[in-house]
Structures are given as structure tokens and as C-alpha cells.
Amino acid sequence: MTGKRFHEFVSETVYDSLPTAVKRMAERCLIDLIGTAAAGSQTTLSRIINDHAVRHFAASGLPAARLLFDGRSTGPLGAALGGGFTIDSFDSHDGHVLTKGHAGCAILPGLLGLVEAIGRTTTGEEFLTSLVIGYEVAIRAGIAQHRIAPDYHTSGAWNALGVAAVAGRHLGLDVARMREAVGIAEYHGPRSQMMRCIDFPTMVKDGSGWGAMAGLSAAYLAEDGFTGAPALVVEDEAVADLWSDLGTHWRILELYFKPHPVCRWAQPAIEAALAVRRAHSFSLEDIETIEIETFHNAIRLDQFRPKSTEEAQYSLPFPVAVAVVNGDLPPFAIIGDALQDPTVLSVSDRIRLVEAKDIDARFPAERLARARFRMTDGRILQSETVTALGDAERPLSDAEIERKFYTIAGDFCGLARAEAIFQAVKGLRQQPSVDQLLDLIVAPPQASPQRAVA
């Protein structure tokens, strides 16, 4: 794609030109990301990264930005970093199948940090339009990177380009400097090993905090004359088809939303196990083993007795066990003392992970699983081959997105504040300024004592 065509889309797209379905999706994404951030703000990961941002990314007299659900001020790069990690710390945010990762968890905090630091009025329509532009650029960059790069990198490697593009729009970068910005973002984006974090879950997560910071930094550097073009995931001939329909084919409509706060790869298995539980009557003691047949990458989510929130989020057997025990996966079953539930651990120990060649052949375009319960009385109870709820083919309804938001945000913010946030998002397109929404989502939440994460 030429720099001029890319620049035209990023800089000249206006809210009224967006299809109705895209406008609606932008609101769905925004409310889902905010709810995830509210829950994530109570994790140890979020506390550490926000303290780090305040100490080491301070504005030092320059324009400042506030940290998501924290309230403290830092520089815009620190706000992007902290916000990206905070959302990523509670694995409940939207994603895209072909990127094998997440765009919005970097786009939103990068945009928030920028809007606060710029210090001029941003309308609700402009904010939502910027969010859409960031998704469209980031998703294409992610698909492109999987096509031309040899390794499976974390989302921060490519969602940085979406942040750089949105920042370039707000900074008024011309064609040449916009091209440099996305090139810098591609080069400095964290090309970290995603499967290392799957095999050894830690707080590094999906790299999106670093992607948000790198993308915003790239735009500021380009504004000052720093060079870094070309971004190969945009300009390589091998990915030209991915960019030829920018502005006509809306990739944001292909997003999935998670009903459960764990890795997307585990969610088909959860649905399969729940299907067996709902279809048959039995006690937990009747279960001899549960066999989960799924794709190779999901099999690597083999944390049977997670010792941390991160290990629980990158586990398949543990959330399946929670779902079998409870008939659902409560959002806070993967944090704190819930990780030591003896009943859940007993069921988790009886789960067996089996790689299924027919399912693996359909990954990543499809993520599927089957569950087979072998009972002590000799019965074998089996599910169909199922996908996860929330995919573009099985989307969560607006009511389900709303219910999810109140479930995870209301507990930390209180229902009154959650309601104020929800209404602010629903009415954002009509607002002359996003300041009211920003004030609602940067003030620190009040966590329930039993929900605070150790």
C-alpha cells in the first residue's frame, strides 16, 4: 500500500462515513475493554506496572496523562504502557482469529494517553472513529506479520502499528512522517515469543502494554523527524492484498468477544465440557476422567494447578474444571484464594489433554474442541465438536456484552459508577467532549475486600 493511500484512510476517515455496524462494534469494543480494565486494575500485575509508569515515565513538566482506573498522572507513554498491561492482565478482552491476538488492549490506552496529553477537546465521534482506525490498521498488521514473519510474536509486535497510526492522526502527521511512524512502530514493537508465555506463564503476557507504548512513542519520534520506514507488514508486496480493501472491508467486524477471562484457546474446551454437564445428570464423584480433544496450541495450556492469575489464564484444565464444578466460569474464579479450591483441583487432576489432528488442521481459522467424560459406572458422555461463544459466527449479543460488563466492572466500581460508564459509552457519539468518560475510567475503583487480588 502506498503511503498516500494509507495516510488518506488514517487521517481523513470521519465518523459519518463509517457503516452502522462498524459504529456499533466500536461501542461494543469500548465497553468491553473498559470492563476488562476495571477488573485488571486489581491484579498485582497492574499495580506493579502502574507504579513503574509513575516512577519511570513521569511527565516532568510536559503534558501528563492519567492511568486507567488508577488516577495517578504520568507521561502519555507511561499511561499507554500501564493501560495496555492493565487490560491484558485480565484475559477477557476482544481478539481476532487470524491475528491470534488482540488489538484493542493497546489501541484504547494509547489513544487515552494521547488525548489527555494533547490537551485539546476530542469529540465522542472523533474518539470512536480513532478507535476504529486503530483496529483496522492493527488487525491487518497482525495478519500480515503472521504471513511474512517466521515466528509467532505477541500482539504488541503488531498492535503498535495501530497505535502509531491513531497517534499520527491526532498529531497531524503528513504522509511522509506517518510512514515513518508506522515503520518505527513495526521495528520497535515487541517481537516477543508468544509460545514462551504459554509454556511459562508470567506477567509479560501478550506484549500489548509495550506495544501501546512503542506505538505512541513512534508517532512522537516521527513528529520530531526520527526515521524508520518502511513497515514491511504494510508495504511488502506479499501482503498487498490485505491493505487493498482498507476502508471498504471492515476487519473490526470479525472480532470475537470472550465470555470467560482466560486464553481464547481454552474456551472451546470450556463450552464442550459445559455442554456435557448440561445434557447429563451426574455427581462430580462419578467422573473418572475428562478427555479434552483440541488443537496443538491449546494442548500447551497445561497448567493443572496454577499458582498465579497468569498461570490460571493460560490454563486449559483449570478453567474447564471450574466450569464443571460451577456450571459456569465466574470471572473471579481465576484469582486469589479461588486457585486453591480443593474441589476444582480434584476435577482438574482428572482432565486429560488430547491433540486431535482433525481439529488442529482447522486452526487458526477455527478453534474447536470436544469433551469426553468417562464415568466410574462405565458410561461415556461426549459432546459434539464445538467452537467458543463470542466468535463472529456465534457472536455475543449486545445484552450479553452488557451483562459481562456489569459482572466484571460493577464489582470493582460499584453498580452506580458502572452504570454511569455504560451510559457514557452509549451516548459518546453525541458528546462534544470525551472528558466525562475519561474522568469515570481513570479514577481508582473501590474493590470489594473478597475480590482484591493478592
Q: Please provide the DSSP assignment of 363-415 as one string.
A: TTT--EEEEEEEETTS-EEEPPPEE-TTSTTSPPPHHHHHHHHHHHHHHHH-H
The b-or-e profile of 218-242 (16+ CB within 10 A means b, else e) is bbbbbbeeeebbebbbbbbeebeeb
What is the chain's mean pLDDT, rounded? Answer: 94
Greatest CA separation for the chain: 72
Per residue in 331-346, pLDDT (tens digit) is 878 888 899 999 999 9
Q: Tell me, what's the pLDDT at 447?
A: 52
Q: Tell me, what's the pLDDT at 412?
A: 78
Residues 377 and 416 in one domain: no
Residues 168 and 245 in one domain: yes
Local confidence band at 454 (pLDDT 50, 70, 90 cut-offs): very low
pLDDT at 307 over 90: yes
pLDDT at 119 over 90: no
In this prediction, residues 180-197 reach a mean pLDDT of 96
Lowest-confidence segment of 1-5, 49-53, 189-193, 215-219 by average pLDDT: 1-5
Residues 299 and 240 in one domain: no
Q: Is residue 225 part of a domain?
A: yes
Q: Tell me, what's the pLDDT at 69?
A: 96
pLDDT at 358 over 70: yes
Q: Is residue 454 part of a domain?
A: no
In this prediction, residues 165-191 reach a mean pLDDT of 97
Number of domains in the chain: 2
CATH number of the structural domain spanning residue 325: 3.30.1330.120
In this prediction, residues 392-406 reach a mean pLDDT of 92
Residues 30 and 163 in one domain: yes
pLDDT at 60 over 80: no
Residues 64 and 201 in one domain: yes
Contact between 257 and 395 (Cβ < 8 Å): yes
Residues 301 and 428 in one domain: no
Per residue in 192-204, pLDDT (tens digit) is 999 999 999 999 9
How far apart (Å, rounded) are the C-alpha atoms in residues 379 and 397? Answer: 36
The closest of 305, 309, 301, 307 to 335, measured between CA atoms, is 309
Handedness of CA 356, 362, 365, 371 (dihedral sign): negative
pLDDT at 61 over 80: no
Q: Tell me, what's the pLDDT at 302?
A: 95
Residues 221 and 270 in one domain: no
Residues 254 and 362 in one domain: no
Residues 97 and 158 in one domain: yes
CATH number of the structural domain spanning residue 212: 1.10.4100.10
Residues 6+ apart with CB under 8 A from 230: 179, 183
Q: Please provide the DSSP assignment of 48-113 as one string.
A: HHHHHHHHHS--TTS--EEPTTT--EE-HHHHHHHHHHHHHTSS-S-BBTTTTB-SHHHHHHHHHH
How far apart (Å, rounded) are the C-alpha atoms in residues 251 and 247? Answer: 9
Q: Tell me, what's the pLDDT at 453?
A: 41
Q: Is residue 406 part of a domain?
A: no
Q: Which three cell numbers stand for residue 197?
A: 508465555
Residues 210 and 352 in one domain: no
Q: Is residue 228 part of a domain?
A: yes
Residue with cell 469426553: 372
Q: Is residue 191 part of a domain?
A: yes
Residues 244 and 219 in one domain: yes
Q: Is residue 173 part of a domain?
A: yes
Q: Which of 343, 371, 387 is the last residue of a domain?
A: 387
Residues for the chain: how many in total? 454
Residues 233 and 373 in one domain: no
How far apart (Å, rounded) are the C-alpha atoms in residues 274 and 373? Answer: 11
- Residue 383, domain extent: 264-387
Q: Which three cell numbers stand for residue 203?
A: 506477567
How far apart (Å, rounded) are the C-alpha atoms in residues 88 and 336? Answer: 17
